[in-house]
Structure 1
Amino acid sequence: MDEHSLRILELVPVLGQVAGLTHGPLAREIVEQLRPADTLEELKNRQAEVGEALLLLDLGFVPPLVGLEDKRPDIQLAGRGGILDPQRLLAIREVAIASRKLGRYLEERSPRAPRLSDRARWMPNFPRLESEISRCLSPDGRVLDAASTSLRNIRSDIRTVDAQLQRNLNALLRDPDIQKMVQEPIVTQRQGRQVIPVKSEHKGRFPGLVIDQSGSGATVFMEPLSVLPLSNQLRSLISAEEHEVEAVLRSLSGWVAQEETPLVAACEEVAIVDATFAQASYAKKVDGSIPAVSEGGRLKLVSARHPLLLAKGIQAVPISLDMGTDFTTVVVTGPNTGGKTVALKTVGMLAVMAMSGLPIPAEPDSQLPFLTEIWADIGDEQSISQSLSTFSAHLTQILRILPRAGQGSLVLLDELGAGTDPSEGAALGVALLEHLNAAGALTMVTTHLSDLKIYASKTAGFENAAVEFDAATLSPTYRVTVGVPGRSNALLIASGLGLPDPLVRRAREILGKEHVGVEVLLDDLENERQSLRQREAQLSRDLAKMELDRRVLLEQLDDLKRERQVRLDEAAAQAEEVLRQAREKSHGLLRDFRRQIAGLERQKEQALAEAQRYLADLRDHGEEAQPPRSFEELSDAELERLTRPDAEEEEEIREAVSEAPQAPERSDEIDSRARVVARTMEANLNAMAHQLHEIRSEPVPSGPLPEVEVGQRVYSRRYGQEGEVLQVRGNKAEVKLGMVRLSLSLEDLEPLAGPATGGQVHLPDAQYGPLSARVDLRGMTVDEALFELGKSLDQAALTKSEKVEVIHGKGTGALRKGVTKFLNSHPLVEDHNLGEVYEGGWGVTVVKLKR
């Protein structure tokens, strides 16, 4: 890239602004040396890292960057065997700490910043180096006693000897004879030795050595002979301390030397990341963005602002330009001081910044082609005195540009054709622009020459652009409008500055009607453009409001989607938990029911056995017979002996158990079936207990007994139901009533014709108490409510209720949905519907039970 053009476009001051946002001199140096990238790949890598840094800053992730010095020379000195002083070692420790913290910061954010986090590979931890320097050096750079055992011992001896020396000196000062000779009763130091200020006239009488004297000669500083051994010992210890401190620093420098290569790399990588975040901070500071850059030829800048004007606090009018598709050459015209040069420099500066990987102060939809060369010939002189030397200077620079400009080049020429005859200047300008256009360069020029405006308006690949001028205020607006030529407005400005009207009118006459007509046409175009701009501004405001409303709606939609997903996840988790609990509950209930049913059978058989034993005792011993024990008194052995349910019951339980793991969704059905079996067994047991009570008070049978046989159908007067005779023993018969085998007296039986019907036991209501046909589930969780509902349905079925009213309330509807799902698969339910208004509406579900 041409350094002369970069200097003209003032890249260095902009880099200075970015460098001011760094934390260390090495990062500042990296920023100040930024130049346009050599390849598109290199540029995209730079942009990607700055983009990641900008994202992290937008998310509030501030990097742990501190003001690090460039310690590479010190690290390399240690690598060559040099001994570093404590301050340099502490600075290197800060490098190690920064490497550790910044590396961890980047690794933790690798999903959002993969390119930056990849640099963490070169930011290793230096735990031993950190700990050794911290152990040996204090924050202010003193070598600590803990640095070595020898240093600790030497300093302990120094303190002891120094204390003894001070005591001896103070004792000497208290001597009356000595006090007469001293200038002042104090102990001070001269040349590293402890001395006493003695009057010069007494130096021959004072027992000591002269070490120094005052400037006036009135005082001599003498070391007493009595403390000379201690003083010499102290100096020896201090020398030993210095040697030991040097050994400690040599050891620490050796630690640095061992880590020389990774420490240097860490310095450089930390500085690179520092420089990258400085560029991201600059983007936030100027409200900038990272433009898209591609191999194509389109240069589109939207609301571009010059960064140096922003730095001065000047509210520059944004410039928008789109070239490279319909046209590649733009001719900018307009009045003097109207902003043409500023527009030219703005385009050039943002192009240089973009090619260097820097964010640009423009809208995010800006884009540029990858430019291998940016050429600029911009003169800052705006005076009316033009000379051949100025023309020659411009032409010399243009001659340097022409052979090098082509595809991938941006050429910026200020005041093309100026400094010479307008006709010749215009002709030369047209020739130059034709050459650049044919070479494929993107070209932007400023001029006052009308012939260039006319040529641009008639030639393919060319386009005019105007820098606007406010005729009312006689001042430029600095707004650039592409598609129309600008006017110099010389006569208008002259009139506004006070040129007499006759002179202005004469000038217009000289220009001719054709020129005046063109000026009128341009005025009309300007008025129309102003009107269109106002309409565009209103449309932009409307569009912005619509966009804001759209974003609000999208955010609300996203919130609803997130809330829906959260609820779905919660519902799925809750359903999974309910299913898991249902499985556990069904399996547990089945196990419990098997045990309970087995226990009931044992108690039944035991009761029958006890009853038979009691009847036998009655026959044999009469009133001396012992009555049967209660169920609770049965021994474990007796209960174990009676553990087997009959084949029909066992098959039903086995079927329920086998179905449970294969069809977890039928857990409620299994639960209900198991409940029915258990309650039936409980009812049979109650009936059996009633029979046993009757047996206890039953007198010894007498009179004729009916004749019955195995398999015959009989009717039990006591229980009011039919059964089948299984066995006949004396005046007793074993009869199966429903699922219960009972030993009944023949007197209680009435023979019937035909086979047994297997009637069911009629359960006394007193065994269950009153059963409600209504269940209130309000205030319960879904799991609690379904458990209570299952029990209520079981009770209603046993009492032959036709329907059950389930009160679940209205609320959120979650409980109602759970109840509905439960009833849909319940084996006892024939149908269910929401209640009528008088029944409670949709806060109640009416359940119709199967008959």
Structure 2
Amino acid sequence: LTHKVDRERGPLAANSDILAAIDFTFAKAKLARDMDAVRPTLNHEGRTHLVAARHPLIAKEQVVPIDIELGGDCRMLLVTGPNTGGKTVSMKTLGLMVLMAQSGCFLPVAQGSEIAVYDDVYADIGDEQSIEQSLSTFSAHMTHIVAILAKAGPKDLVLVDELGAGTDPEEGAALAMAILERLLAIGAATVATTHYSELKTFAYTRDGIENACVEFEVKSLRPTYRLLIGIPGASNAFAISQRLGLADSIILRAKELIRADHAQFEHVVSDLEQQKRLYEQMNADIAERQRHAEALEKKVAAQQADLDKKKGDLIKKARQESAALVRRTRREAEDIIESLKKQFDDQGIHARQAAMQEARRRLTEASEKARPGIVGQKHLGKKIDMKTLKPGDSVYLPKLDQKGTVLELHGKELEVQVGSLRTSVRAKDARFLGHAGAGGGETLMNGAKAPLGKAGGKHAWASAGNGGTGVYRQSGRGTTDLLGKTATARREIDIRGLMVDEAEGVLGKFIDDAQIAGLGEILVIHGKGTGALRKGVQAYLKHHASVLSYQFADQTDGGTGATVVQLK
């Protein structure tokens, strides 16, 4: 059997280690549950802040939680106070918390606690006198102190109980101050306890050291075990002796013998402790008021949120009702408009509109007959040959019923000078009259002739025939309306706000002017609105003799709020 076990010693040893790790993990979890422990925040900057720390070996019903602050500006804590006051327990609590945290255990502290990770922990606690080694209490302590000073570093924690005790008080106090100075120079985090009043003053005069004491209730001669940081502790030897029954005469004599400055210092310390208790009570009241205020703030915030929700619901409902009202009003308005249209129809509005359109049609026909160059009168000039056409040649523009001079050729387009106007036309929309420098005359309108030479140093054009359209005259500084319209013609017209019959009259005149100016495309801005004006305009364009096609404009030009019209 032993040989069989020996053959499996590798797996058995591994399993044993795994089971030990599992058992240790469950043990830590059970301990954390039993102690109501929490997970602290760890840091490597030497900063320790324990809130309501409880000694893990004292029953929960009896232990007094303490707050411990160490690190940062304060690298050393000097704890003073009477015997049996809890100084050593406070120091041991810190040491145990550090070791537990670095063993992976949760700590019996309040939430928000933080603890530093130290490289090593050195402690000199308890009476280590030894008859066998011929060591007194002082010698035993000093042996440990020597070893600690030789090994301690800036990332270590040093715990020293009753520093300098066991020898002459003056020498012991001086020695304790020198040791504390060395630990400060090393930079190790240190907690030390002492009875020496000189060390209390020493802590006040050195940077990096903070006084602390364990609170003691003189009336009941019982320690409260609460650690007060920032205040040195009084020994309370006279008060304790008096309460224990020592004769008053002896106590009075002792007070006479003690140095006056020491007595005054003890009195100041007592006052500080009293003020500390008063401030703590005030802070507790303030904290309670703050919690009450925070509860009220949460309640008010909840009420405000509820009001905001109700306000939002009311606004949403009002908007929905307003939108419904607008839609209903719009429908009613459209019904009224439709009714008015029918009423006007009954009075012959449509008949008048039809008569206006017929009059425009006849006017257009008459105009076209008076302008033979526009409607199929191809006899004026001849088709342009781009191979022979040159800048300076004379051409006729049927759409303008004007003669011009070719300035430049751009492919199938010509740039032509018509008086003071420069315009671009397609070659197929112009007729050739003659090359540069050629004389003679051309037929203008209704077969009449006009000289193409010079009159008074200026080009001269004459109208021909009765009822002909206006022609360009340039004699001195005079011009006709035709050239003015040609030079100032606009591409777009805005008819928003007009009634349909008003819009038709304005639009008909605009189309005529655009044609005279030689525009092939115009933009009619009618808006969106109810759509009545848009429908009326497009119905009018559909039957207009000069309109080739029409469609809604691009989004950049107005979308469905405008119509692009191509002219013949």
Provide the TM-score with structure 2 as the length reference. Answer: 0.49
Answer with 1 or 2: which has the greater Rg.
2
Structure with the higher strand share, 1 or 2: 2
